[in-house]
Amino acid sequence: MPKDHGIGASSKRREDVRFLTGQGRYTDDINLHGQAYVHFLRSDVAHGRLNKVDTSAAEGMPGVIRIFTGKDFEGVGGLPCGWQVTDRHGNPMQEPAHPVLAQGKVRHVGDPIAAVVAETAAEARNAAEAIVLDIEELPAVVDMKKALRPDAPKVHDDLSSNLCYDWGFVEENKAAVDEAFSKAAHVTTLELVNNRLSPNAMEPRVAVGDYNTGTDDSTLYTTSQNPHVIRLLMGAFVLGIPEHKLRVVAPDVGGGFGSKIFHYAEEAFCTFAAKAIRRPVKWTASRSEAFITDAHGRDHVTKIELALDAENNFTAIRTETYANMGAYLSTFAPSVPTWLHGTLMAGNYRTPLIYVNVKAVFTNTVPVDAYRGAGRPEATFQLERLVDKAARELGVDPVDLRRQNFITQFPYATPVAVEYDTGDYNATMDKLLEMIDRDGFEARAAKSKADGKLRGLGINCYIEACGIAPSALVGQLGARAGLYESATVRVNATGGIVVMTGSHSHGQGHETSFAQVVADMIGVPEAQVEIVHGDTANTPMGMGTYGSRSIAVGGSAMVRATEKIIKKAKKIAAHLMEASEGDIELKDGQFTVAGTDKSVAWGDVTLAAYVPHNYPLTELEPGLEETAFYDPNNFTYPAGAYACEVEVDPETGKVTICSFAAADDFGNVINPMIVSGQVHGGLAQGIGQALLENVSYDENGQLLSASYMDYAMPRADDVPFYQVDHSCVTPCTHNPLGVKGCGEAGAIGSPPAVVNAVIDALHRGGMKHVAHIDMPLTPARVWSAMHG
């Protein structure tokens, strides 16, 4: 029988009551006394020399308080990059300056040039229109390969070229990989594009800066996934505010998908300007601004090759990828195509030799950084499309080819520097096949054919590295931060529990699932546990939420802190019952002495901790509050098998998804309903990438997909009712909950399933010339491929 509370129960999401009834408190709901508003004047050209910014007419406009330009930020730090990649030759990446407001040049449409602070948002915007710009437009670089030509215009004049880095991984293996290819019985090659995506969180970004003249304290309210990281980056690297004088609050946040990890110019500006004008300063992005300022995702162009021996064993993989960085390095941009991508190129397979080459390129486009999955969807897509193509070329069943090459012994050290602790890829594949009735496919295909449609089935696997990450390891890889997580468990006198976590919830349901863990450990009702997050003033230093890390790393910190609480509470209970500490047991919120009928309740112990009249004060401090920091000793490796069935309308090229099944191994599951919801959302985004979404620039760097009129988001009728299963469980071996993380799996595993299914449908329809179609598989693209 399913549990009705605690770990493993599908407890209802307590936060949804306020989210769904309009009672959430988002950053835009925060309005401070005396607040002014900022409007950013942004570049409408992709590349240009900024000869003059004439604000004289604008300064006299009604309501204007002050106008800022790049000049005001001379001597102020630029936006920092949090990860340094070292190239194939041992040199650091090229790292350009990223000023808060443009200085000297503009480098993408949306680059902020000036900021007007006024009494109202409309007055700020009116005045911004009166600023006269003298911009000498320069040729833009948009296409990555063209950007690397010697004669290409340079995005950053002070860099030697538009190449950020040329990364080889593992460089020492390159010769051996090349040799394996020369000896291969069969080589499958695939060139593909991983399309650029716009994150489109439901809540656009907002920032409110505040300055307290009495205490010299600054506060930033912002739509962030990691307020402590923003405090550190902005305080230490941009504005020079020590952390004890800077508070960052990320209240309710309406979705992030990675785009709200990064430190953005608008956050630094509002904090800076609030101090400059001695008034709170607020910025609320329009959706149009979101399209040209939120960091985009993906945008890889790849050639991948697979070598196989005569028995169809994978012997080597070789890839060459061009990864778009955009105009500046966003906070974690360099890590995405390298350490979050190259390390996953083994996938679920025993390929002994792998070489990954990545060229990161600056272009006159919006910066690109982590977006749900970040590097791992790109790796999975390449590999799972490639294996499918290999199976087709070899005339073998794509499931059999995968199974033949599965890793089956754990732990498994891949040739790309990670060690999978545990997994069972045959188990998830078996589960998937059970879910999809593969044997019935031919009958379904025949029915589709009778309706004039082509039916196809796509199956693939995925693996991801989550629970980012061991600090010592990522430090060696170039991270300029640690990646532990923290939790403080504060037990009040009357037994209520407040958990202050460094993780941040922006839709994930932490307030519910985290409470389930602590309530389960102590044996109290979930309602007795409150989860607090998002404010640097009342939570311990934490690294925030991304990379499916919250339960694996943040949850582990919370477990460690709760263990400390239980240990101390048992000591108090032992004193109260005049028993030996070793004999105390805690169950269902009652402390008992083993072998006796003595007991004290949780509330008796917590009260004693704060009213220590009868208390071992000589041995134990009063109070019941503990903090733990948890630094994982490995990534976690969720994995699974996905299947998609589609119908293609041969007359129009339109793809309809008939069914989608996902069999995931997430390790232990805290709240199955929330996990299913996370998979559903990930699948919608992955299907969106596969069929609909595409950021498109013209050759001059103008964004063509700048609104929902041209950027297609998945809607309810674009996606099917999903079949999801997470009953295959190989618990993570190195964290206390045995959990792996589930937030990104759906977005990582689903695009290849969709594309594999469409290619399958076309081949079954006789169009065997179609080896691949680049995402998104819009009707027009599918039709063109069919007739290409």
**Which lies closer to other proteins via its Cβ, residue 696 or residue 733?**
696
Min dist. Cβ of residue 128 to other proteins (A): 11
Identity of the residue, 84 or 288, whose beta carbon is nearer to other proteins in the bound complex? 288
Q: Look at residues 218, 290, 260, 524 and name the one whose alpha carbon lies nearest to residue 372.
A: 260
The owner of tokens 């007419």 is 57
Q: Of 20 and 122, which CB lies nearer to other proteins in the complex structure?
A: 122
Q: What's the CA angle centered on 174, arms 171 and 175, to 5 degrees? A: 135
Nearer to other proteins, 44 or 604 (CB): 44
Maximum Cα–Cα distance across the chain? 86
Alpha-carbon separation of residue 483 from 237, 244, 336, 631, 775 (angstroms): 19, 21, 15, 7, 33
User: CA 192 to CA 302: how far, in whole Å?
Assistant: 5
State yes or no: residue 779 binds other proteins (CB under 8 A).
yes
Q: How far is the CB of 41 from other proteins (least distance, A)?
A: 13
Smallest gap from Cβ 370 to other proteins, in A, equals 24
With binding defined as CB under 8 A, does residue 132 bind other proteins? no
Q: Could you tell me the smallest distance in angstroms from the CB atom of residue 655 to other proteins? A: 10
Among 181, 410, 441, 783, binds other proteins (CB under 8 A): 783
Number of residues binding to other proteins, judged by CB under 8 A: 24
Alpha-carbon distances of 378 from 301, 346, 371, 708, 747, rounded to whole Å = 10, 13, 11, 24, 10
Task: Map the footprint of other proteins across residues 613-672, applying CB under 8 A.
Answer: 651-652, 654
Residue 784 CB, shortest distance to other proteins, in Å, is 7
Q: Report the C-alpha gap between 762 and 647 in whole angstroms.
A: 10
Binding mask 308-347 for other proteins (x = CB under 8 A): ----------------------------------------
Three-state helix/strand/coil letters over 227-239: HHHHHHHHHHHHH
Distances (CA, A) of 616 to 141, 568, 569, 575: 71, 11, 12, 7
Unique residue bearing structure tokens 């060696």: 476
Comparing C-alpha atoms, which of 551, 558, 552, 545 is closest to residue 489? 558
Rounded distance between C-alpha atoms, residue 378 and residue 314, angstroms: 20
Q: How far is the CB of 785 from other proteins (least distance, A)?
A: 12
Where in 609-703 does DSSP place strands (E)? Answer: 625-630, 639-648, 655-665
Q: Of 288 and 590, which CB lies nearer to other proteins in the complex structure?
A: 288
Rounded to whole angstroms, what are the CA distances from 754 to 133, 690, 725, 758?
47, 7, 18, 6
Of 165 and 697, which CB lies nearer to other proteins in the complex structure? 697
**Segment lying near other proteins (by CB under 8 A), choices 22-30, 500-508, 729-737, 778-786:** 778-786
**481-500 residues near other proteins, rule: CB under 8 A:** none
Q: In 10 A of CB 736, how many CB atoms?
A: 17
Is 175 or 704 the residue whose CB approaches other proteins more closely?
704
Contact 557, 501 (CB under 8 A): yes
Query: Residue 286 or residue 614: which is nearer to other proteins going by CB?
Result: 286
Closest contact distance (angstroms) between CB of 522 and other proteins is 48
Question: Which of 288, 538, 702, 723 forms a contact with other proteins (CB under 8 A)?
Answer: 288
CB 378 → other proteins: shortest distance, Å? 23
In the complex, the smallest distance separating the C-beta of residue 240 from other proteins, rounded to whole angstroms, is 37
Q: Are strands 36-42 and 281-284 parallel, antiparallel or unpaired?
A: parallel
Mask: binding to other proteins, 683-712, rule CB under 8 A, as x and -? --------xx-x-x-------xx--xxxxx
Query: Per rule CB under 8 A, is residue 784 in the interface with other proteins?
Result: yes
Instruction: Considering the complex, state which of residue 611 and residue 780 has its C-beta at the smaller distance from other proteins.
Output: 780
The Cβ of residue 774 has, within 10 Å, a number of other Cβ atoms equal to: 15
Nearest-approach distance from CB 289 to other proteins, in angstroms:
12
Residues 410-449 that bind other proteins (CB under 8 A): none
CA–CA dist 6, 2 (Å, integer): 11
Nearer to other proteins, 120 or 596 (CB): 120
Report in angstroms the alpha-carbon separations of 604 from 530, 588, 591, 599, 609. Answer: 20, 14, 10, 10, 9
Give the residue, chosen from 16, 129, 216, 419, that forms a contact with other proteins under the rule CB under 8 A.
129
CB of 63 to other proteins, least distance (A): 13
Residue closer to other proteins, measured from CB, 375 or 686: 686
CB of 778 to other proteins, least distance (A): 6
Overall size of the chain counted in residues: 788
Site for other proteins in 98-127 (CB under 8 A): 122, 125
- Binding of other proteins by 780 (CB under 8 A): yes
Considering the complex, what minimum distance in angstroms separates the CB of residue 185 from other proteins?
41
CA 785, distance to chain mean position in Å, is 32
SS3 of residue 362 by DSSP: strand
Does 716 sit near other proteins (CB under 8 A)? no
Tell me which residues touch other proteins (CB under 8 A): 122, 125, 129, 288, 651-652, 654, 691-692, 694, 696, 704-705, 708-713, 778-780, 783-784
